[in-house]
Structure 1
Amino acid sequence: MVTDRSGDTWRPLVAALANDRVREAFARLTLGASADDALDGLSPSRRRHVVETLQRAGLVTADLRADGSAFARVLAAAPPPPRPTGADRFLSSEGRLVRYPSHPDERRDLLEALAHRVFAPGEVIDEPELNDRLAALTDDIPALRRHLVDHEIVERTRSGSEYSLVAASPQS
């Protein structure tokens, strides 16, 4: 597989797969067709182009057999995605709650982060609005709402019909 100037080993591979004729030839080779059968119906110049593109991408061996290891090489060359830290460890990539941490301090940190996504400072909202906002974070709305209240991150008004963030106590 050829690496371009910037070190992007994935570019020739993606370029090859973006070309319908190259992709079709690679699929045929992958399914066991001979090179002649895989390239059947192409003009000599088109055949040359398809073969060169497959070779540049590392998708074929020297004898024009399919080589799917190019995908593994590209993945191995890519840096691993960053690992989530803090409260993000308990959220999906879409920001939805996946699980609650077992450690109490981590659970509180997660709940505080979620509460600050739902409420603006000083904002008071009714229960249906709170439920709508929590629905973006979890399928179990009552459980999350209860955790927020039980951990004294969110408070209910006396009537129980409205919610707001608990005011931070002043630092001594």
Structure 2
Amino acid sequence: MAQETGNRWRPVIAALANPDVRVAFGLLLGGGDLTAYLDAKSPSRRAHIVRVLTASGAVRAEGGVLALEPTVFADILADVSRRKAAGIGRFLVNGRITQYPASLRERDDLLRWVAERVLEHGETVSEPVLTGRLRVLADDAALLRRYLVDAGFVDRSRDGAAYTLNEKGAQSLSA
């Protein structure tokens, strides 16, 4: 059964969510006695198990014998690795910034996302507190702090000791 690229995993997971199908798949995988297991089921249940296994793409029927489809999991993993992140997700790995966008619009989107996570409207924090919050999102917290100020999302006091979400940053929270 051909699946849309990127969604081949769905029927496999759906099949494995069914306890009877999961046992049958496990028997196939481990070389157990699938025939005895299926023979113990009613004809309709047996047909259902076989239908779900083959529809998943993880198993094929060859001359009435079920066999594992050896490439299904590699194909699913290949689909996942080909999937491209969109929006600011392209610049994040596990919720941390790995690179900054070259585009000013995308950089603003990323910095707006950061501002929304590290400061609340009306909150004033010290430089060490803001730096600690930014360290969760990026390796170079000082650079990220500077970007937030330069882009106009965060205001810094004259002495550099206090930071607040400014009007531009606060507008992004309500938008």
Q: TM-score, normalised by structure 1?
A: 0.59
- Pick closer, same or farther for the CA change 1:56–1:151 going to 2, 3 Å: closer
Between structures 1 and 2, the one with greater helix share: 2
1:46 match: secondary structure: coil
Distance in 2, Cα, partners of 1:104 & 1:44: 65
Tell me the amino acid that sits aligned with residue 17 of structure 1: L
Matching residue of 1:54: 50
- Pick closer, same or farther for the CA change 1:144–1:15 going to 2, 3 Å: closer
Deviation at 1:64, TM superposition (A): 1.9
* Contact 1:153–1:165 under 8 Å retained in 2: yes
* Contact 2:92–2:99 under 8 Å retained in 1: yes
Distance in 1, Cα, partners of 2:118 & 2:145: 11
Tell me the amino acid that sits aligned with residue 64 of structure 1: V
1:90 partnered with 2:96: no
- Pick closer, same or farther for the CA change 1:27–1:44 going to 2, 3 Å: closer
Distance in 2, Cα, partners of 1:14 & 1:104: 40
1:101 match: secondary structure: coil
Q: TM-score, normalised by structure 2?
A: 0.58
CA RMSD between the two structures: 3.9
**Between 20-29 and 139-148, the greater mean CA deviation after superposition:** 20-29
Distance in 2, Cα, partners of 1:113 & 1:14: 33
**Between 126-135 and 60-69, the greater mean CA deviation after superposition:** 60-69
Matching residue of 1:78: none
- Pick closer, same or farther for the CA change 1:105–1:23 going to 2, 3 Å: closer
Matching residue of 1:45: 40
Q: State the structure with more CA Rg.
A: 1
**Between 60-69 and 13-22, the greater mean CA deviation after superposition:** 13-22
Count of residues in correspondence between the two structures: 148
Q: Give unmatched runs, 5+ long, in structure 2.
A: 2-8, 77-82, 169-175
Between structures 1 and 2, the one with greater strand share: 2
* Contact 1:39–1:47 under 8 Å retained in 2: no
Tell me the amino acid that sits aligned with residue 40 of structure 2: S
- Pick closer, same or farther for the CA change 1:108–1:14 going to 2, 3 Å: closer
Deviation at 1:115, TM superposition (A): 1.6
